[in-house]
Structure 1
Amino acid sequence: MKARRRVRITWLEMREPGWLRPARGRAPAVRRMREPVPEFARFLYETVGGPWLWYERRGWSDAAWAARLADPGVELWVACRGGSPVGYFELERCAGEVQMVHFGLLPRFIGRGWGGPLLARAVQIAWRGQVRRVWLHTCSLDHPAALANYLARGFRIVREESRTVLLPLPVTPGRSADSPASG
């Protein structure tokens, strides 16, 4: 079963590393997963994105996850505190641009002041190498502070639009919905 919902989508970018504005506080340690495990990637996606109705990858098979993670342009970074994962971000590098595909904290770690510092760290990592632009998009379904955090770190809005999307009913982390919705 799916529901129609009107969402506002905002695309943001940084054209220079100097646009990055640091955040107060210390980010959790981050480590790149050199051999990402599809089941763990699914766990991060569903647990971090569940409250915000991330739906595009629900229903992906292990093979689809493995194919995504095997793409040489894709980087999965996990933020940890005290040995436990607290969040993650996924970067995709292509033709001198880096898209921050996903970014977020596990729900139990939201509100501890780690979002801004972690985002700043993710942006620093995104700027590694020959990069001319770092970009992302967010929407009105995301955490209420997400857009403000992106703007506070120095991203600039380049486009906004509203559209109606079909959203599946929420699923329990670790389980798949019937199929991904299209928006």
Structure 2
Amino acid sequence: MNVTTYYLQMLDPARLRAKSRPHAGFEVRECEIPQYAVNRFLYRYVGASWQWTDRDEWSDERWRSTVETGRLRTWIAYDRGTPAGYFELQKQAGDEVEILYFGLAEAFIGKGYGGYLLTRAIEEAWSWGAQRVWVHTCTLDHPSALANYRARGFEVYDEREEPVS
């Protein structure tokens, strides 16, 4: 089986086509006190449906060194108090910000939350001083992922197909 990975970028905050908040009970809040166990939970909670496995074997120390360094920020989406999804932003060289992880838990997909959550991720990336915001997705992710990125104003700048075992 082959997997196609799409690399997308936004070079100007004016390119953002924002989606409004779906309802008053849907909130997105930053985890202002980084805790690697929270990120590990969110990664598994959201990623289980999409074969996110690259962090499965990480030690506590690896999680801590990634999450608690000051170069990674995390936001959690809540639907009436229940965690519904999250995103991680990572500051990179050259004032670039990558949306490192982004997604909704399975029970919250199809409710119109993805566009707003992505809008917030992009807004937060730009407010962190980004000169470029980028993300990648692949054909293993939700079938609407690529369309959501494009709908918010991202453009594909690279595409790679690789075999997956």
TM-score, normalised via structure 2 length:
0.92
> Does the alignment pair 1:160 with 2:159?
yes
1:138 partner amino acid? T
- Following superposition of structure 1 onto structure 2, how do residues 39-54 of structure 1 map, counting pairs within 5 Å? 39-54=37-52
Identity across matched positions, percent: 43
Rounded to whole Å, the distance in 2 between the matches of 1:150 and 1:86 is: 19
Rounded to whole Å, the distance in 1 between the matches of 2:129 and 2:40 is: 30
1:55 partner amino acid? T
Aligned equivalent of 1:136: 135
Q: 2:12 aligns with which of 10, 16, 19?
A: 16
Aligned equivalent of 1:86: 84
Rounded to whole Å, the distance in 1 between the matches of 2:128 and 2:56 is: 32
Post-superposition CA distance 1:128-165 (Å, at most 9, x none): 14321000000000000000000000000000010123
> Which consecutive residues of structure 2, in runs of 5 or more, have no partner in the other structure?
none
> Which consecutive residues of structure 1, in runs of 5 or more, have no partner in the other structure?
167-183
Aligned equivalent of 1:60: 58
User: Per the alignment, in what secondary structure is the counterpart of residue 127 of structure 1?
Assistant: helix
Q: Is the 8 A contact 1:77 1:88 kept in 2?
A: yes
TM-score, normalised via structure 1 length:
0.84
Q: Which runs of 4+ in 1 moved over 6 A?
A: none
Rounded to whole Å, the distance in 1 between the matches of 2:129 and 2:118 is: 20
1:9 partner amino acid? T
Rounded to whole Å, the distance in 2 between the matches of 1:142 and 1:93 is: 23
Rounded to whole Å, the distance in 2 between the matches of 1:24 and 1:41 is: 26
Post-superposition CA distance 1:84-139 (Å, at most 9, x none): 11100000012311000000001111111100111111111110143210000000
What RMSD, in angstroms, separates the aligned Cα atoms of the two structures? 1.4
Rounded to whole Å, the distance in 1 between the matches of 2:38 and 2:68 is: 14
Q: Is the 8 A contact 1:25 1:113 kept in 2?
A: no
Higher helix share: 2
> Does the alignment pair 1:6 with 2:2?
yes
